[in-house]
Amino acid sequence: MSEPVPPGGTPKSATPKSATPKSATPPSETQSRRASIGARRSPAAEAAILDAARSLLAEKGYAGFSIDEVARRAGAGKPTIYRWWPSKADLFIAVYSADKAAAIVVPDTGALATDLAAYTTELWRFWRETPSGVAFRALLAEAQASEQAMAALRDKFLPLRLADLACVFTRAADRGEIAPADADDLLQLYIGFHWVHLLTGRIGEDAASIERMARLIVRAGRPDTAAPPTR
């Protein structure tokens, strides 16, 4: 869905015929126009479009993310965009996927609490300072209006993105810090913490809050505390 569409359409053999002698369209200044490079996809056009989309998203958020504006900035035609990305969402997802490479380093400090605090600090900074943060928020928003986007988010995007954090919890379980059975639930709780802050615009560097939350998570997972009134 997010991949460019291979052009395999029906060859229409009808010659344009050009009954209308349009003439004109003077090629006066062929200066900066990025002409076709022939019967193949232009890497220059693709790169220009992706770059324009990324910077536009970073500057104006999803609200200002219009195909027309992307085309203007990229010096590309809208048909060129729609040829390779059938919808606005496709282009949007492509941008995020391309950025995902520059991901986040998963900390390994030897203790869950410090791992979590470090990860959160880094993630929030990433969300604040890169187009990806904006893009992710937009993706969450988009998913609320499109069942398709929702499914993609839930089934493809999240599991992939959460793999890093999952292994932080796995290591903690191996160290005996938390009960292995709780690892998944604790991960979910921590994700929720991130999302609430992201979606309400509170992803500043509130170190105290981050640390408190990390300690709560650790405490919730402590296996030895399960003794007394667990029924």
Partner DNA sequence: TCGTTACGAAACGAACCGTTTCGTTTGTTG
Partner DNA sequence: CAACAAACGAAACGGTTCGTTTCGTAACGA
Binding site for DNA (CB under 7 A): 1-3, 5, 7-14, 16-18, 20-22, 25, 27, 30, 33-42, 45-46, 48, 64-69, 74-80, 82-84, 86-88
In the list DNA, its own copies, none, the entry touching 188 (Cβ below 5 to 8 angstroms by class) is its own copies
Q: What angle do CA 208, 210, 215 make, to 5 degrees?
A: 95
CB of 28 to its own copies, least distance (A): 27
Half-sphere exposure of 49 (CA within 13 A, CB side): 27
Site for its own copies in 62-101 (CB under 8 A): 62-63, 82-84, 86-87, 89
Distance CA 196, CA 164 (A): 20
CB of 133 to DNA, least distance (A): 20
Distance CA 65, CA 69 (A): 7
Site for its own copies in 101-130 (CB under 8 A): 111, 113
Distance CA 61, CA 224 (A): 46
User: Contacting its own copies (CB under 8 A), which of 196, 204, 205, 207?
Assistant: 196
Instruction: Tell me how far CA of residue 109 lies from CA of 60, 174, 225, in angstroms.
Output: 37, 14, 23
Task: List % helix, strand, coil for the chain (3-state, nearest 5).
Answer: 65, 0, 35
In the list DNA, its own copies, none, the entry touching 230 (Cβ below 5 to 8 angstroms by class) is its own copies
In the list DNA, its own copies, none, the entry touching 166 (Cβ below 5 to 8 angstroms by class) is none
